Amino acid sequence: MTKYTVPRGTRDILPEEVALWQFVEQKAREIFDLYNFREIRTPIFEHTELFLRGIGENTDIISKEMYSFQDRKGRSLTLRPEGTASVARAYLEAGRGQREPLSKLWYQGPMFRYERPQAGRYRQFHQMGCEVLGATSAYQDTEVIVLAQHFFESIGLKDLEVHINSVGCPTCRPVIKERLKSFLGDNLDSLCADCRKRFEANPLRILDCKNPQCNEFFVMLPDISDVLCAECKEHYHDVQNYLNIMRLKYKIKPRLVRGLDYYTKTVFEIISAHLGAQNAVCGGGRYDNLIKELGGTPSPAVGFAFGLERAVLIMQNQKVSVREHRPYLLLAPLGENAGNRAAILANKLRRRNIPLEIDISSRSLSAKLKTADRLGVRYAYILGEDELVDKCGQLKDMQGGSQKKISFEKILEEIENRYQKYRRENK
């Protein structure tokens, strides 16, 4: 028999793990609300040109990681490798810049990059992220950093570090690049093949190399922030100032760069001590030229995205557990007539918003009580053939073990009251 497996670099998320995902997604939505971000949903594929222009031709994503294909009319389309370019496109297309001076948007969904799969690195992975478009103030940079940290704390993540840097702007970037090149020039042989290629095409990207041998060498490199222009220096100073007054702990990482070309000025990452090699749980920064690059009126912006796989992995490694949603009640009819009665009751109870399961099988009572245990329900309502005569069932407390006879007429109200009390107590 043919065995089907998931494609390399993708994975199924089974119900036990989905509970963690839902928790993370729910918390993120709450935090986005707190900071007044509104959700935006964009297509999963876009014109390839959008990413070429937005992300930059000399980045890893563009040069080797895109899932691009031609549609039936020969157009080149690409499964989105990240969310920012799409959000910026949608913002421009809808003319939102003219309608609101500041657009605070968040998104979530699968992203696709043809990378080498390993722990915490997939070919289909999921991000949630936010973008502030029209973000002129350095305060906006720090608001997204604070939001990210706030969110990770809300899902119970510990031992995180916020790393920040400034990668300059078109004024100072050429100086930064030249400086790097003059330091690296004599030592090109010590770098990996990829870095040697980046030397000409995009020397700043060398600093983002994951090769340990290259990394050892980087320690000797100059700090890029030394050569920032006056405007970038001031901005960087303001960012640190806001972070300081908001009491957010951070580390200045003078060699931190990011994998996408659109970043200007502030870049940041949050890393976790519980992730191993792929230690960044989120990354972001300012991108003042992306909107202009995509043909819009220049509009400064800042944002970040986090990887759900990595957030969930940290929770698992830290043994953070969440309560999975479970049915409250199991209806356990014995025999066909009882089954009919149970179907009617199930229907009525569910209309009253009581989460329940019904074991309609012909198995024995003790087998059905085992189902109740496995499901973790609070009560089982047993409908025996005998009890049908006086229109009653037995409500069994699955925690205490006690049992009480309750009529079909009363059971709806009874369960509803108990469930509401349980909800109040377990908020």
Within 8 A by CB and 6+ apart from 164, the residues are 145, 239, 240, 243, 250, 251, 252, 253, 256, 266, 267, 268
What is the rounded distance in angstroms from the CA atom of residue 131 to the CA atom of residue 140? 10
CB count within 10 Å of CB 291 equals: 23
Q: Which helix (DSSP H) or strand (DSSP E) does residue 148 occupy?
A: helix 138-154
Identity of the amino acid at 211: N
What is the amino acid identity at position 242? Y
Which span (25-33, 228-236, 306-314, 326-334) binds ligand ATP, by CB under 6 A? Answer: 306-314
Q: Check if the beta carbon of residue 407 is closer than 8 Å to that of residue 391.
A: yes
Amino acid identity, position 331: L
For the segment 112-131, give every residue that binds ligand ATP (CB under 6 A).
Answer: 113, 115, 120-122, 125, 127
CA distance 423 to 377: 14
Size of the site for ligand ATP (CB under 6 A): 20
> Which residue lies nearer to ligand ATP by CB, 207 or 349?
207
The beta strand positions in 84-167, using DSSP E, are 103-112, 124-133, 160-166
Per CB under 6 A, the list member of 310, 341, 368, 396 interacting with ligand ATP is 310
Q: How far is the CB of 306 from ligand ATP (least distance, A)?
A: 6
Is the separation of the CB atoms in 307 and 127 below 8 Å? yes
Whose CB is nearest to ligand ATP?
A: 307
CB nearer ligand ATP, residue 113 or residue 341: 113
Among 138, 243, 305, 383, binds ligand ATP (CB under 6 A): 305
Least distance between ligand ATP and beta carbon 212 (Å):
14
> In this complex, which beta carbon is closest to ligand ATP, that of residue 96 or of residue 150?
150
Is 335 a binding residue for ligand ATP by CB under 6 A? The answer is no
Interaction of residue 307 with ligand ATP, rule CB under 6 A: yes
Query: For residue 133, what are the contacts with CB-CB under 8 A and spacing of at least 6?
Result: 87, 88, 91, 96, 97, 102, 103, 104, 105, 291, 299, 301
Query: Taking CB under 6 A as the criterion, which residues in 275-304 touch ligand ATP?
Result: 278, 280-283
Residue 151: CB minimum distance to ligand ATP, A? 13
CB of 283 to ligand ATP, least distance (A): 3
Complex with ligand ATP: residue 143 or 309, whichever CB lies closer: 309
Give the nearest distance from C-beta 300 to ligand ATP in angstroms.
19
Q: How far is the C-alpha of 199 from the C-alpha of 180, rounded, in Å?
A: 9
Query: In which region does residue 392 sit, left (phi positive, over 0), alpha (psi from -120 to 50) or beta (all else)?
Result: beta
In the complex with ligand ATP, the residue whose CB is nearer, 20 or 415, is 20
Of the candidate residues 143, 261, 309, 387, the single one contacting ligand ATP (CB under 6 A) = 309
Report the C-alpha gap between 315 and 366 in whole angstroms.
37
- Quick one: 61 or 92, whose CB is closer to ligand ATP? 61
Q: Which is nearer to ligand ATP, 46 or 82 (CB)?
A: 82
Orientation of helix 408-425 relative to helix 336-351, angle to 10°: 40
Q: What is the DSSP letter of 37?
A: -
Closest approach of Cβ 105 to ligand ATP, in Å? 16
Nearest of 284, 238, 281, 231 to residue 257 by alpha carbon: 284
Closest CB to ligand ATP among residues 310, 368: 310
Query: Which parts of 225-264 interact with ligand ATP (CB under 6 A)?
Result: 258-259
Of 278 and 394, which CB lies nearer to ligand ATP in the complex structure?
278
d(CA 381, CA 351): 17
Tokens of 155: 């899902």
Q: Using an 8 Å Cβ cutoff, are 15 and 25 in contact?
A: no
Least Å from the CB of residue 202 to ligand ATP: 14
Minimum CB separation of residue 113 from ligand ATP in Å reads 5
The reply on whether position 209 binds ligand ATP by CB under 6 A is: no
- Of the pair 51, 306, the CB lying nearest ligand ATP is at 306
Stretch that binds ligand ATP, among 229-237, 273-281, 320-328, 336-344 (CB under 6 A): 273-281
- Which residues contact ligand ATP by CB under 6 A? 82, 113, 115, 120-122, 125, 127, 258-259, 278, 280-283, 305-307, 309-310
